[in-house]
């Protein structure tokens, strides 16, 4: 007979090769105290989106707890790398898409069945690297295989215990996405692999196509000077104007290749972004709109100082700014404060629908990618976004987000360097 009051972990995931595309889910149940694997589930889903597949993984994991007879007084912690599913199941985000609403109701019904047995269910978002077992099983499902294994009461041979949060030594290989899509359509592609080949000709789909354009260079950029919100606010240099024109042509070409939709151009309130956005808006035949929440971070008393000066005079403080998301310079702004306003700006942009082009800055683009990819503050600094580069996201009706490409600079090839 199963013991009462057991602490359990459900690790669940799902994926879609194409979003929507060939989909599958994976889930495991573990003993939270020993890491012992108690159940494995995986199955194909046919044609579905990432988020639908993730919900199916959650449902399979909760159902496994009930099927194993372990729900009595159990403390169940669900761990997923889908922030969308976790936030919707905890009630922090609304569920608008009908398919998602239906699946969430199924998951909540299973949750109530566990609670009716005096159990509890809580949800925890984890980085993809801590959800590799479920991720691997979801790929098994996408490959068309079904897995249903239980390791309780001698049903099957029990595998060796595995820590719930430990990644296997070959984690990178286990988590590697399919290489068939050159634009890396799945959100969960590791940041180190989000690189757009200059040979690709991407197109965008989705209910909202978001194109983030970093501004062209200014005299401050060329002199390696810090340039944030609230500082000198320089205009584009001659080189920066050429970059803005090239970026405008690249945006226009991308939109012409993509699914037709209404186009909006939004810029930050800073001169260099406004001038870049104005070049893009002219190329597209629309009027730009200003949203100051897309401004660069305010660096306070460091604004206008060169990086060489900061390294020499403020070495420890500079390191702290990079490592501590709550650190802010006098009269300046912390990374977390920047994140909050970028979230607001991103929400407004996506709510517009259609194609939204945003002319903005390095750190705001970094914040958007970190948000949708679930990357922490320290890792986010690894994301490269060159001046006048293009980064694109596709947002789908079910709430799913795909990173189509990052740091595309092919349109700048042949321009003279400053």
What amino acid positions are annotated as catalytic residues? 215, 296
The angle, 0 to 180 degrees and rounded to 10, between the axes of the packed helices 238-257 and 271-284 is 40
Q: Are strands 263-267 and 354-360 parallel, antiparallel or unpaired?
A: parallel
Q: What is the DSSP string of 176-220?
A: PPPSS-TT--STTS-GGG----TT------SSEEEEEEE----HH
CB 137 within 8 A of CB 42: yes
Q: 267 forms bridges with which residues in the sheet?
A: 290, 359
Long-range pairs for 173-177: beta carbons < 8 A, 24 or more residues apart:
174/132, 174/135, 174/136, 175/128, 175/129, 175/132, 175/135, 175/136
* CA proximity to 249, closest of 220, 276, 217, 209: 276
69: phi > 0 → left, psi -120 to 50 → alpha, else beta; which?
Answer: left
The region, left, alpha or beta by phi > 0 then psi within -120 to 50, assigned to residue 300 is: left
Give the integer Cα–Cα distance in Å for 389 and 214: 6
Residues 254-284, buried b or exposed e (16+ Cβ, 10 A)?
bbeebeebebbbbbbebbbbbbbbbbbbebb
């Amino acid at each position: 007979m199963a013991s009462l009051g057991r602490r359990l972990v459900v690790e669940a995931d799902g994926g879609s090769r194409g979003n929507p595309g060939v989909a599958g889910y994976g889930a495991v149940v573990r003993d939270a105290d020993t890491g012992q694997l108690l159940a494995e589930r995986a199955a194909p889903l046919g044609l579905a989106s990432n988020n639908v597949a993730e919900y199916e993984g959650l449902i399979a994991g909760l159902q496994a707890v009930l099927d194993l007879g372990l729900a009595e007084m159990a403390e169940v912690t669900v761990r997923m790398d889908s922030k969308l599913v976790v936030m919707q199941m905890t009630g922090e985000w609304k569920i608008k898409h009908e398919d998602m609403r239906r699946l969430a109701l199924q998951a909540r019904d299973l949750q109530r069945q566990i609670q009716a047995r005096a159990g509890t269910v809580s949800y925890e978002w984890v980085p993809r690297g801590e959800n590799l077992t479920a991720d691997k099983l979801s790929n098994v499902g996408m490959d068309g295989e079904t897995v249903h294994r239980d390791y309780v009461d001698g049903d099957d041979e029990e595998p060796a215990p595995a820590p719930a949060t430990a990644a296997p030594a070959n984690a990178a290989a286990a988590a590697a996405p399919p290489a068939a899509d050159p634009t890396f359509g799945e959100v969960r592609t590791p940041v180190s692999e989000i690189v757009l080949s200059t040979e690709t000709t991407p197109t965008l789909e989705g209910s909202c196509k978001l194109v983030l354009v970093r501004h062209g260079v200014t005299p401050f950029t060329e002199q390696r000077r810090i340039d944030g919100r609230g500082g000198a606010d320089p205009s584009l240099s001659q080189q920066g104007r050429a970059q803005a024109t090239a970026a405008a042509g690249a945006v226009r070409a991308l939109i012409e290749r993509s699914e037709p939709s209404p186009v909006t151009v939004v810029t930050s309130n800073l001169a260099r972004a406004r001038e870049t956005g104005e070049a893009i808006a002219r190329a597209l035949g629309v009027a730009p709109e200003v949203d100051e929440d897309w401004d660069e971070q305010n660096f306070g008393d460091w604004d206008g100082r060169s990086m060489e000066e900061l390294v020499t005079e403020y070495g420890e403080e500079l390191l702290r700014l990079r490592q501590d998301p709550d650190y802010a310079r006098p009269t300046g702004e912390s990374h977390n404060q920047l994140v909050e306003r970028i979230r607001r700006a991103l929400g407004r942009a996506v709510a517009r629908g259609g194609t939204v082009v945003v002319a903005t800055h390095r750190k705001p683009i970094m914040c958007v990618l970190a948000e949708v990819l679930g990357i922490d503050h320290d890792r986010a600094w690894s994301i490269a976004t060159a001046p006048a580069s293009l980064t694109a996201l596709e947002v789908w009706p079910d709430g799913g987000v795909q990173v189509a490409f990052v740091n595309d600079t092919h349109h700048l090839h042949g321009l003279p360097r400053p």
